[in-house]
Structure 1
């Protein structure tokens, strides 16, 4: 048996990309490759991206690695060269070569042919074929950059909290931080959460606040979002009001809070909507954007039920708001 593992970058705003370096941060693909390797199953990695990225750990854990870029409607062409005939022989050979140099480190510099010090992992024009195979030795897994371990612009995407971000539930009895669980509640039941369907299966989290109220918030070690606020980016999320709020509801980013009570009360029950609140608005409301350890939180002072998904930073396309502060 052979496993084909397809993975790559998720969509991002062109303002900054997913990360400040070329380091491919998601951990799930590498964990999957390592499990397959430990089980003795040969693996072919198909990497989807719009740019070359530092993927040495993933390459080391693969028996073959294909840079498929963004094939779109022509994705079947990848299968044409990977899937053999009944005798196990290739039906088609690879013809493509690197149209960009592949980085040796996550710094990605210098990466253009002719630049002084040009020393990529795989040079411009590199490419293997079935007719001309080669064995690549173990690559260095030193990224060359100091990683914060944090995603600066994605917090809850595709039904998962993006490492190292996690969900914390708080009420008068204290805090409860969710681990691998998909459901839980704050110590006194002021707020509870469960996994549910949104745009995809189990892609959302349903929050239920009791009459006593509570707070649900995404937390991790502090990150600096000053640059993102100067670029007029916004905290964005999809939401569906399941039961209108009885008391005040605030969106919180650190110490900055804006009032969303009227917005949630006016939303039709059961209808998905998207909200984008400018970081500069939350900064003006008191948030310290130089050290953000809680980029998103909802506080309700009474009974309220809302489902949320796709919590991230997004660019301002003329569709952001700045609610009043409380």
Structure 2
């Protein structure tokens, strides 16, 4: 709206875009079709999700899958013991993408998709029917050694804005299943990688670590359609063959407009037989690591132009933490290094109670305008570990031009975290806005404060999607 009003986008361009939409609606006969409530089958809600409809949707899933690699491990024997790993294995919202029950497709649970089947459930049902067994272990730590492993990974849901990425690669936290693949392969377990994604991305590491690689795109409610193609029939022959082909080229690097790895129209079939594989280079050829601009603290250190400080709640006795170990607040705050992902990839805070309280802040001199992100249902993600339970309430806030910025948000969820376990906690930006923060001039996107004692470790602070969180802070009412 602003760009139209200031002339950046001419009104003629807006008129042309609207006219295109209206022409399509006219060709579909929507203007003559009458109100939706007056049309045939209107109000017949019992027909939603009918078996015939689900069968067609499942068929569509089978026909859309694209196999990019198969050294001979596929199809799997349905009578085998199958490990299903990866953070996308049992998440119907994730396999459905954006614009589902919410704008970005986030903040949803499997229970909100009645009758739908996750990829894990589809696999479990398929092997159980044939006399095999399946085990779900997202981190790959199995109880019984599997005959093969299916690792399901990929993008989290997004619509416009949240889906914008600076380069053609997954964000670092979404690449964790790559290490699971590597570990399983090193143990001699055949690995099948299944990628959930709305677009081709640079994933050479996953292609190298897997024995077979299948792009599932966004299969939606009928996850069993994926299992239909991964497993053989009773005669150990493929029950269905792959028919999907790439709708666009698959990138060899994360660089926009870079080299192509697989061309438009590429896709293997079982009829092609096993294919030899030569390991791909694992250089993305881009300077960024896929984080994007909304990362303020990563691997235990502030991003460029950002600072980590510890102070009293009133900002007195301010200590900028540049090296560790460090001591602040007259000895009440001890800051040391701890491991997360990499050696010393996080900072550990041991804070003693005091009348002046304590604040851990990540801030900068230049203000950010986060109003667009706030409107886009973006959340603030903090990767942290509770080391010692707080003796007093914990709250979070933001800083505006290095001053107070709205009311602190109580974070009761902090006390419920399991001690010693790393988790990703999400705070919707809308919570800060509702508490009075001016989201157009944020200089400190992360301020955590308490008047009591507290022990915690912090590895990463960034903007992202609620789908990436283990726990979410509820906005005060």
Q: What is the TM-score when the length of structure 1 is the normalising length?
A: 0.62
Describe how 1:257-276 pairs up with structure 2 within 5 A: 257-261=404-408, 264=410, 274-276=428-430
How far off is 1:169 after superposition? 9.5
How far off is 1:225 after superposition? 9.0
Describe how 1:1-326 pairs up with structure 2 within 5 A: 1-12=147-158, 14-15=160-161, 17=163, 19-26=165-172, 27-109=175-257, 119-133=259-273, 134-148=275-289, 150=291, 152-153=293-294, 164=299, 170=310, 172=329, 173-176=333-336, 179-180=339-340, 186-190=349-353, 213-216=357-360, 229=369, 232-234=372-374, 236-237=379-380, 250-252=397-399, 255=402, 257-261=404-408, 264=410, 274-276=428-430, 277=432, 281=438, 284=441, 287=443, 295-300=445-450, 302-303=451-452, 313=463
User: Match of 2:213, SS?
Assistant: strand
Residues in 1 aligned to 2:393 and 2:462: alpha-carbon distance in whole angstroms: 23
Q: Conserved in 2, the CA contact under 8 Å of 1:251 and 1:299?
A: no
Q: What residue in structure 2 maps to residue 290 of structure 1?
A: none
Q: Against the structure 1 CA distance between its residues 275 and 231, is the aligned structure 2 distance closer, same or farther, given a 3 Å change threshold?
A: closer
Q: Against the structure 1 CA distance between its residues 273 and 312, is the aligned structure 2 distance closer, same or farther, given a 3 Å change threshold?
A: closer
How far off is 1:87 after superposition? 5.0
Q: Against the structure 1 CA distance between its residues 253 and 38, is the aligned structure 2 distance closer, same or farther, given a 3 Å change threshold?
A: farther
- Report Cα offsets for 1:257-278 as digits up to 9, x if no partner: 41324x649xxxx9x9955246
Q: Conserved in 1, the CA contact under 8 Å of 2:381 and 2:463?
A: no
Q: Conserved in 2, the CA contact under 8 Å of 1:174 and 1:186?
A: yes
Q: Conserved in 2, the CA contact under 8 Å of 1:48 and 1:67?
A: yes
Residues in 1 aligned to 2:367 and 2:244: alpha-carbon distance in whole angstroms: 39
Residues in 1 aligned to 2:452 and 2:407: alpha-carbon distance in whole angstroms: 14
Residues in 2 aligned to 1:51 and 1:141: alpha-carbon distance in whole angstroms: 19
User: Match of 1:5, SS?
Assistant: strand
User: Match of 1:187, SS?
Assistant: strand
The gaps in structure 2 that reach 5 residues or longer are: 1-146, 303-307, 311-327, 342-346, 383-389, 417-425, 455-460, 466-477
Q: Conserved in 2, the CA contact under 8 Å of 1:5 and 1:46?
A: yes
Q: Against the structure 1 CA distance between its residues 273 and 124, is the aligned structure 2 distance closer, same or farther, given a 3 Å change threshold?
A: closer
Residues in 1 aligned to 2:208 and 2:400: alpha-carbon distance in whole angstroms: 39
Q: Conserved in 2, the CA contact under 8 Å of 1:256 and 1:282?
A: no
The gaps in structure 1 that reach 5 residues or longer are: 111-118, 156-161, 191-209, 288-293, 306-310, 316-326
Highest Rg: 1 or 2? 2
Q: Conserved in 2, the CA contact under 8 Å of 1:81 and 1:91?
A: yes
Residues in 2 aligned to 1:177 and 1:131: alpha-carbon distance in whole angstroms: 54
Q: Against the structure 1 CA distance between its residues 264 and 34, is the aligned structure 2 distance closer, same or farther, given a 3 Å change threshold?
A: closer
Q: Against the structure 1 CA distance between its residues 297 and 151, is the aligned structure 2 distance closer, same or farther, given a 3 Å change threshold?
A: farther
How far off is 1:77 after superposition? 0.8
Q: What is the TM-score when the length of structure 2 is the normalising length?
A: 0.44
Q: Against the structure 1 CA distance between its residues 48 and 142, is the aligned structure 2 distance closer, same or farther, given a 3 Å change threshold?
A: same
Residues in 2 aligned to 1:140 and 1:254: alpha-carbon distance in whole angstroms: 45
Residues in 1 aligned to 2:300 and 2:236: alpha-carbon distance in whole angstroms: 44
Q: Conserved in 1, the CA contact under 8 Å of 2:351 and 2:358?
A: no
How far off is 1:52 after superposition? 0.8
How far off is 1:176 after superposition? 4.4
Q: Against the structure 1 CA distance between its residues 244 and 105, is the aligned structure 2 distance closer, same or farther, given a 3 Å change threshold?
A: same
Residues in 1 aligned to 2:359 and 2:149: alpha-carbon distance in whole angstroms: 43
Residues in 2 aligned to 1:249 and 1:40: alpha-carbon distance in whole angstroms: 46
Residues in 1 aligned to 2:336 and 2:399: alpha-carbon distance in whole angstroms: 18
User: Match of 1:51, SS?
Assistant: coil
